[in-house]
Amino acid sequence: MESTKATLSAKRTPPPGSNPVDPNGLFIALGPLSVPHATPPTLGTKTSYRGRWILLHQQFIDRRPWELPLVNSGEDTGSSVSFTIYGYCTHVSPAPSRTMHPALSVSHELPFDFCPGTFDWIFDLEEFEHWIDKVHSWQLRCVGPPGSGKTTLSALALARLRERFRGQKEAVAAIFLLDDVNYSHEGRFCEDLLDSVYCQLSSRQPHPEDLATSFYATYRDAREHGKQNVLHLLRKALAARLAILERAFLVLDDIDRCYESSALEAELSRLQELGLKILVTSRVPLNTSVLEYRCDTGVHGKEEWEVPCCKVCWWCSKCKYDIICHGCKEAGHVCKSCGKEGLLVEPYEKIDLMISIPDPVLYSFVSFSLESVHGDLNLQTPGQNLPPISPLGSLIRKHAGGTYAEILVNMMVDRAEGNIGFARLLLELVHESCSIEEVEDSIRGAGDRIPKRILDYFDAGIGKIQERPVKAERDLGLKAISVAATCEECCYKTFDEVKQELGEGTRKAGADHLAPIRVVDDVIRAANGLLVQMEGEDRRVAPYNTYFGIYVRQNYNTALFWEHTLMKAHHERSNSRTHEFAGMGKTNTLGAGKLLKVRKHIKAVSKLLKKKKDKANLKEYTGFKLSRRITGAFG
């Protein structure tokens, strides 16, 4: 195989056409590079530097250059491609002591269809500004279901923080989890994560030989000599680095990918106590079960319903009673009971911030995406160089007196329910259509069928739950969804109802015990964000999206269908026990007849699933609604 070589050189003069953002940074030229398949290049003298590479609109990290998308500026030689990459290195930091864990990355590209301003609303919230404030030490946890834009939000927050905090004693680190990882079975995962955080926080170290650098050198030496239990040395170096820095931030994306993340949460809490300000994105909220905070100063109104809830607030630790919102504290209000002697502290370590795109913002995003593909549809999208009108775009402009584009956008916004990922799925269905009729069927659904692209999306979410290594957690996730999302009348159930049905169904089935359920958070966590808690005091649990509720209730997924059928069978058996009429000794067999039908239903499906591996054969059993999943018009 052809040898692989690469040279890495620093340049002060940017390549033609580039737009540098940091005049003190280094431009890096990589090339020419001949890359045979799966063979890493050998870097030159600059292996101790890492940075963010920018090529046109693509951003990536040079820690794995052989995995980068190839840019062909030379001749294609078949097994390898000769090319040159010019990148802009904005952050130079020491390299980690070994190759980073494959599930970790320090950057993430923005989506190709990203619409500027989509997440500005979240950066304008007082919670985000208070989190940045040096006074506050709590963790900001941005929570959203699948497709809500958590990773995009993390990438944008990282860019904003790095643009805002550029001093020598200010640093911003980022970790993006790219794959699922079991924390308890991955000894090197935590070490690699902390190692990367240290290196990023040291990117602007003013004194190369400071105390933190000395501690880190001790850690690296121990690591290279194969010593065990060196994590405490790395923690010591991190603590020293945070003591030197005046402002330090960490953006951690998709923490749910770390299974059994309690140990990781403990590491984050330690760093938080040392002054690291942490932003985490997650599918699961931590504080859904806590009481709502309301200001006790009396300036908002006398009645409780007049006082708005406040997330950022202060609590008098002396009398342990009064709550003061941040606005009142800034205005000079003190505890009514203790006066100026009261000690005000924040009564929480984390604040949940729900990610749900406002309808006007989502309207702008959908309009932007439609016109960027189909041309000018009279949606008045600002700042775009629109392409020529497409054939479908021409039909949209002519339909309904020229107002159909606006009708279509409103329809997609309504069905997306604040979820930008779901809006993208609907946009893809529109882009694939060739007529107005196909557009209508794609968005509204043909009959009661769900488009196949959306089904595949839901299947992937259920698949993640099925891949969990612990059976008790896996079963709880599937059963919780099958119970909470199958109410035909109201499309939700209270947490107490869900907990009761799960307990009864498991006990009567004689099945293995499920993972413990203490609070509503446990149900949402088990469902991996596919269930959400609705607003209200009765703690209602519901599917995160209307389509997902239909997906569960109409048995589009085999695993959920099986769980729902078993739970239903045990419920029927509970309600159809033999009852004797008083003094007659006769038996009521009506319930038993219903139970027999359910048992036959289960037996037929079980036999079919065992013998027929090809999903298309499921249509042989007409009573099983999965046939619609296979034979739908959207296949």
Residue 444 forms part of a structural domain: no
- Residue by residue, DSSP assigns 245-279 as -SEEEEEEE-GGGEESTHHHHHHHHHHHHTT-EEE
pLDDT tens, position by position, 568-591: 666 555 555 444 333 434 444 444
What is the residue-averaged pLDDT of the chain? Answer: 74
pLDDT tens, position by position, 295-311: 888 777 766 666 777 77
> Domain range for residue 68?
1-92
Residue 521 has pLDDT above 60, yes or no: yes
Question: At 50, is the secondary structure helix, strand, or coil?
Answer: strand
Residue 84 forms part of a structural domain: yes
Weakest mean pLDDT among 8-22, 86-100, 254-268, 474-488:
8-22
Residue 514 forms part of a structural domain: yes
Integer CA distances (angstroms), 423 to 122, 147, 195, 331, 365, in order: 18, 9, 37, 42, 9
d(CA 251, CA 153): 10
Instruction: Check whether residue 388 and residue 487 sit in a common domain.
Output: no
Whether 313 contacts 380, CB under 8 Å: no
257 phi and psi, to 5 degrees? -65, -15
d(CA 255, CA 268): 11
Residue 398 has pLDDT above 80, yes or no: yes
More confident residue, 172 or 266: 172
Residue 204 has pLDDT above 90, yes or no: no
What pLDDT was estimated at residue 504? 67
CATH of the domain at 263: 3.40.50
Weakest mean pLDDT among 130-139, 284-293, 416-425, 609-618:
609-618
Residue 40 has pLDDT above 60, yes or no: no
Residue 603 has pLDDT above 80, yes or no: no
Residue 246 forms part of a structural domain: yes
Question: At 190, is the secondary structure helix, strand, or coil?
Answer: helix
Weakest mean pLDDT among 79-88, 372-381, 464-473, 535-544:
79-88
Residue 588 forms part of a structural domain: yes
d(CA 359, CA 400): 23
What pLDDT was estimated at residue 624? 35
Residue with tokens 């040392």: 274
Q: Is 14 left (phi over 0), alpha (psi -120 to 50) or beta?
A: beta
Residue 430 has pLDDT above 60, yes or no: yes
Residue with tokens 């799925």: 425
Instruction: Check whether residue 143 and residue 237 sit in a common domain.
Output: yes
Instruction: Check whether residue 4 and residue 61 sit in a common domain.
Output: yes
Integer CA distances (angstroms), 615 to 195, 457, 597, 619, in order: 46, 17, 24, 8
Structure tokens at 102: 């494959």
User: What's the whole-number mean pLDDT along residues 413-431?
Assistant: 94
Domain count, the chain: 5
55 phi and psi, to 5 degrees? -130, 110
pLDDT band per the 50, 70, 90 thresholds, residue 83: very low
User: What's the whole-number mean pLDDT along residues 319-324?
Assistant: 80
Exposed, middle or buried by CB within 10 Å (0-12, 13-18, 19+), for 475?
buried
| 247-253/82-89 β-pairing | unpaired
What pLDDT was estimated at residue 490? 62
pLDDT band per the 50, 70, 90 thresholds, residue 228: confident
User: What's the whole-number mean pLDDT along residues 17-34?
Assistant: 36
Instruction: Check whether residue 195 and residue 234 sit in a common domain.
Output: yes
Instruction: Check whether residue 494 and residue 538 sit in a common domain.
Output: yes
Question: Final residue of a domain: which of 261, 282, 303?
Answer: 282
What pLDDT was estimated at residue 53? 32
Distance of CA 202 to the CA centre of its chain: 28
Of the ranges 43-52, 58-67, 90-99, 314-323, which is most confident? Answer: 314-323
Nearest to 36 by CA among 72, 5, 75, 73: 5
More confident residue, 237 or 536: 237
552 phi and psi, to 5 degrees? -75, -50
Instruction: Check whether residue 59 and residue 144 sit in a common domain.
Output: no
Residue 560 forms part of a structural domain: yes
What pLDDT was estimated at residue 152? 95
User: What's the whole-number mean pLDDT along residues 157-186?
Assistant: 87
Residue 322 has pLDDT above 90, yes or no: no
Instruction: Check whether residue 430 and residue 466 sit in a common domain.
Output: no
Residue 477 has pLDDT above 60, yes or no: yes
More confident residue, 611 or 351: 351
Residue 450 forms part of a structural domain: no
Weakest mean pLDDT among 96-100, 111-115, 366-370:
96-100
The set of residues, in sequence order, having a beta carbon less than 8 Å from that of 245 and lying 6+ positions away, is 169, 170, 171, 201, 275
Instruction: Check whether residue 223 and residue 244 sit in a common domain.
Output: yes
Weakest mean pLDDT among 28-32, 137-141, 415-419:
28-32
Residue 113 forms part of a structural domain: no
Whether 184 contacts 260, CB under 8 Å: yes
Weakest mean pLDDT among 153-162, 298-307, 526-535:
298-307
Weakest mean pLDDT among 341-350, 403-412, 470-479, 550-559:
341-350
Structure tokens at 358: 């406002």
Residue with tokens 């409780």: 304
More confident residue, 52 or 218: 218
More confident residue, 607 or 338: 338
Residue 564 has pLDDT above 90, yes or no: no
pLDDT band per the 50, 70, 90 thresholds, residue 186: low
What pLDDT was estimated at residue 121? 94
Angle between helices 452-466 and 546-553 (to 10 degrees): 70
Instruction: Check whether residue 321 and residue 422 sit in a common domain.
Output: no
User: Over pLDDT 70: what percentage of the chain?
Assistant: 67
Rg (CA), the chain: 28
What pLDDT was estimated at residue 513? 67
What pLDDT was estimated at residue 337? 80
User: What's the whole-number mean pLDDT along residues 509-518?
Assistant: 65
Nearest to 567 by CA among 492, 623, 490, 485: 485
pLDDT band per the 50, 70, 90 thresholds, residue 460: very high
What pLDDT was estimated at residue 336? 80
More confident residue, 78 or 431: 431
How many Cβ atoms from other residues are within 10 Å of residue 381's Cβ? 19
pLDDT band per the 50, 70, 90 thresholds, residue 163: very high
What pLDDT was estimated at residue 32? 34
Residue 346 has pLDDT above 50, yes or no: yes
What pLDDT was estimated at residue 248? 95
Question: At 191, is the secondary structure helix, strand, or coil?
Answer: helix
The set of residues, in sequence order, having a beta carbon less than 8 Å from that of 559 and lying 6+ positions away, is 462, 466, 478
Nearest to 250 by CA among 271, 232, 270, 230: 271
pLDDT band per the 50, 70, 90 thresholds, residue 522: confident
Instruction: Check whether residue 464 and residue 585 sit in a common domain.
Output: yes
Amino acid code (one letter) for 456: D
Instruction: Check whether residue 610 and residue 479 sit in a common domain.
Output: yes
Instruction: Check whether residue 144 and residue 190 sit in a common domain.
Output: yes
